[in-house]
Amino acid sequence: MKIYRTADYQEMSRTAAMILAAQIRLKPDCVLGLATGSTPVGAYEELIRQYRAGYLDFSQVRAANLDEYRGLTRDNDQSYYYFMQQNLFKHVNIRPENTFIPDGSRQDSDEECARYEAVLSQLGGVDLQILGLGHNGHIGFNEPADTFAKVTHCVDLTRSTIEANRRFFEKEEDVPRQAYSMGIGTIMRAKKILLLVSGSEKAAILREVVAGPVTPRVPASILQFHPDVTLIADEAALSRLNA
Ligand code: F6R
């Protein structure tokens, strides 16, 4: 695992955007695996800035998201579909037909997960996957468990994740209890992975991810076994590691 230490969130975001931009320039029709949440927002802003300045072209880029809440329709302002439109897609020239995300409105979870996994295979796999890190070590919505999930699946969100995501909803009862998520196996098939982590509240879990045992109890620890992972983290997040 390569580790880039940055001073703060802004530098983490600029560094991540540079790597994403280089990927798009090297392979204009690349498949980007994208994440939602607070962590990648700064990198997306930087990509939008570079697009507006004429440095980046998304016309051939394909984008596949990690996850989506089960039960939310696309027009729900808390859906990850909506998040991606607001935070990236509507600001750049990516084609809507080249953006993919599990469909939270589909109730048949087996069917929807199989459909999404087939979409990812048809795309030929993810070239560069962006990941944020949950407080409990989750990536995508792969929560701590007894085994690593192989493929896209329906997840029961843990109390810690429901509480962490509570900030985006009016009431805790509004936070969905389930989500569709790429599996750990799906994520591990990405050719390159960029893990972004910011803030002291992630320092303890980041230490376990990078220096602890590989275990499904800390899902992101599996990244120690991926051949091409770059961690970009700020000082605060790295404060418990001597990297
Ligand atoms: C989002 C996702 C999650 C988040 C994680 C961190 O698509 O898959 O794993 O990356 O929960 O969230 P933030 O960035 O809000 O701290």
Give pLDDT tens digits for 223-242: 999 999 999 999 999 999 97
Q: What is the pLDDT of residues 17-55, one digit of tens each?
A: 999 999 999 999 999 999 999 999 999 999 999 999 999
Distance from C-alpha of 4 to C-alpha of 216, rounded to nearest angstrom: 25
Q: Which of 32, 36, 87, 205 best tests ligand 1's pocket when mutated (most atoms within 8 Å of CB)? A: 36
For residue 243, the model assigns a pLDDT of 52
Closest residue by CA, ligand 1 atom 2:
140
User: Which active-site residues does the annotation give?
Assistant: 67, 136, 138, 143
Tokens of 172: 């805790």
Rounded alpha-carbon distances, angstroms, from residue 223 to 32, 168, 239: 18, 28, 20
Indicate the average pLDDT of the chain. 96
For residue 138, the model assigns a pLDDT of 96
Residue (of 29, 232, 35) closest to 127 by Cα position? 29
* Of 11-20, 36-45, 171-180, 196-205, minimum mean pLDDT range: 171-180
- Report strand pairing: 62-65 vs 31-34: parallel
Cβ count near 47 (within 10 Å): 26
Domains belonging to the chain, first-starting first, are: 2-234 (3.40.50.1360)
Q: Determine the Cα angle at 69 with ends 67 and 71, to 5°.
A: 140
Ligand 1 centroid distance, CA of 194 (Å): 13
Q: Are 42 and 10 in contact (CB under 8 A)?
A: yes
Cβ count near 146 (within 10 Å): 7
Ligand 1 centroid distance, CA of 52 (Å): 26
Closest residue by CA, ligand 1 atom 11:
134
Say if ligand 1 is within 6 A of residue 43 CB.
no
Ligand 1 centroid distance, CA of 133 (Å): 6
Euclidean distance between the first and the last CA atom of the chain, given in angstroms as a whole number: 11
Say if ligand 1 is within 6 A of residue 42 CB.
no
